[in-house]
A and B are shown apart, each in its own frame.
Chain A
């Protein structure tokens, strides 16, 4: 794969040999090892319990000591395959020795159990996650489909929560195109080489007038080289994409966009958030810095480094995965720890109090069910059967757009209040008012999920997603402005 990149002229031959080949250090001298060797000899002679001092155990623990001192992405890889392909449906990132939940898969078991982005995962089946390597924690989480895993986590209020969650196999592609009116919409889940390659050709063939939204919010991994290659395709030659720093200052390398006749010019909006981690952060940092794209959403997780596997001699086929390069954005900020900020935010979510009330009462699901089963006169019954929520023809007749919107919201509020009253849900009128627009969006998504094809439901979900909607609006604005300029 690296050969391919080099063939494209992205990476110079000197870089390949200089930075990526395993460097070797001068052998350790007895003097340097003295504290270790003396300690080992003392232990073997005098430690109170004879059963704990055999050489193999002590040396294995010494190796573990070295690996534990490394960052959360550096570890000794277990040659055994993971215990199963399924999981509870969320992604983590490790920072400061803590496992942060950075993405919760919609409709998954973890979401149903109430796990949220921003929570801290504390235990998996009784095993502490504190200080563990990320891949180790992911190993705890993995298992066969249908098996159960017990989770303990701390939510944003500092409350400890626990749940037994069933593992399900989630086959997400590395990326997917969603056909949205007027724009390319690409969701990226894993920015690896194949994905980057296809996204590039997809963007290159997209009509320049339309623009594209690149949704990186659930992209928690990938390959730094893939991110660099995609950034290269989108940026004019000579611009800095990212700078990598190896074991010391001498091993610093600046990755630049290659000289080319014409970079892919389609207008771009990126969607980013705490679930954007690793390779996509490199891409986002470069595109934002050079004003090649606007970013909507929240700050990214803040981790970008390259790992490389080293064979461990006489370790039973085990390998050492080591962080060998850390990345610094063109702005000079080290991506790890800081991440990339979004320029535009789609606004605050509902207050947690209200979120919890909606959760407690399952209001969204109940409303969708009721509207579908017994459509109030104000709504279009036929549209509801198809999973759409719209004002009936009678109600909208002869009214302006603004009037229709007012009418729609009033009708929705009436339906919601009726449900709350009849089911005795105890949600206040105030709460309903405050949450109304969010509720409408979520009920629309829920109806689509229940009564539309998965593809169509996805379109509805993105249309009702404030960040995605903002991205599409921005592209529309870009189109209008460039149209006006012509």
Chain B
């Protein structure tokens, strides 16, 4: 199979192919299935079957899959700018993205999408809904929105170019630490990170947290560029090994202009994969960052995407290389062990149904309605503080922490009314997470999605631990080193 393999494409081994061709022709001519299989579909299924024997990252991409994938990696597409999901069995808006047509039209998280261009969404699969909502920029889509307490209404939206946010940065208020989360590595990720680091420099921050949790990877090149920002010139970032010489490479950091440098903590978890592991692996090997969190996923392979049809609408995604960290550590199936392992940050299982039923958003909405626009009628929350996005007990002298206990009591009462009676034992386990989620939901209602996200980050125990480590280490040289 060695010398002959290169000639297969030009002149396929007719004898070897014959059984497959016979099978395809027999199926096409005789199969009375529902739906019937057309010839091109049978060929596609043969290709899918062949590719499925390789590994789980290799896939034959038909027209639709290839199109979706191109959008995912291109970093932008035509759409209206909402995340959607199934909430309580109904297709719903999870959150609008700021600066998009959906945001401008006032769509909110929790809005139920009853129809898309007049088609009911009752039995619609989520991917089907996504395909109906997306489309060329400048074209129109009408969503029929049902919001709790309001009549159903049609919302016409003109599609625009949507660039999903793959990177978010903020400064943690409590600690003055910079925080950047990279959700996946796509075009411009490193550029956006560079901009964030510059902003942090202006703010004279003591350290930076790079959050790669649940980042599944993305473009290899972009991951190496991210590493490059943190390393001096000329050191190894990652190397790939492959059968195809074109895929064998060693990436080194570049000689470059000044990039702001900070003490760095990288947060990872069991869903940090591929590109995330390149970044964490290189920064760990060069001792440039402390890796915190959970052992990473362990996907150390590179896939290439090659169009295989004449019209370039079908493609093969296949694993062409494995990569190794600078110290040639095996990542495949092993993952990267953090320097500091943190407990898994999972919600207790009982939280699941509250999320599924959108309970926190609903509770927050009821609390805010109870308080009313005049700010009167509140018994357990300070209306003035609430307008500023803070939850505090009424009265000037009361300690803000006291409100946590009250949130718990009020939410549990409300949950009982919904018929979700929790035992005391179950409640003990849930209370902290519930209070946190109520706070986030109230923030979302009062100050919007962005503030809620920032609030959630501040509250995240792993982020807090990372920030504490950076704060502590920044104080060590000044305090501990003799002059």
Contacts and interface: CB of A to CB of B under 8 A. Distances in A.
Interface of A: 22-25, 27-28, 31-50, 52-59, 61-71, 74, 245-248, 251, 305, 308, 310, 312-315, 320, 322-326, 334, 336-337
Contact of B318 (A43, A54, A57): A43
A181 B434 CA distance: 68
A376 B156 CA distance: 79
B21 to A, nearest CB: 6
A59 B8 contact: no
B413 interface: no
Contacts of A50: 243
A47 B1 CA distance: 14
Given A24-B25, A34-B309, A322-B26, A245 B32 contact: yes
A313 to B, nearest CB: 6
Contacts of A39: 47, 50-51, 60, 308, 316
B32 A55 contact: no
A336 B21 CA distance: 29
B30 A322 contact: yes
Contacts of B16: 55-56, 59
Interface in B17-56: 17-34, 36-37, 39-55
Contact of B19 (A36, A41, A42, A314): A314
Q: Which 8 A-B pairs have the closest CB atoms?
A: A65-B49, A41-B9, A61-B53, A38-B308, A69-B45, A25-B29, A46-B244, A62-B50
B46 A63 contact: yes
Interface in B46-96: 46-55, 58, 60
Contacts of B49: 61-66, 68
B19 A59 contact: yes
Given A43-B318, A46-B244, A324 B20 contact: no
Contacts of B247: 46
Contacts of A70: 27, 31, 33, 37
Contacts, number: 209
B301 interface: yes
B142 interface: no
B23 A312 contact: yes
A401 B452 CA distance: 77
A31 to B, nearest CB: 7
B19 A312 contact: yes
Nearest to B48: A65
A43 B27 contact: no
Nearest to A306: B32
Interface string B142-167: 00000000000000000000000000
Contacts of B301: 48
B50 A33 contact: no
Contacts of A312: 19, 22-23
Contacts of A31: 310
A366 B306 CA distance: 70
Contacts of A337: 34
Nearest to A244: B32
Contact of B32 (A65, A320, A323): A323
B314 interface: yes
B50 A24 contact: no
A11 B124 CA distance: 44
B116 interface: no
B291 interface: no
B24 A28 contact: yes
B348 interface: no
A36 B316 CA distance: 10
A437 B329 CA distance: 72
B342 interface: no
A281 to B, nearest CB: 16
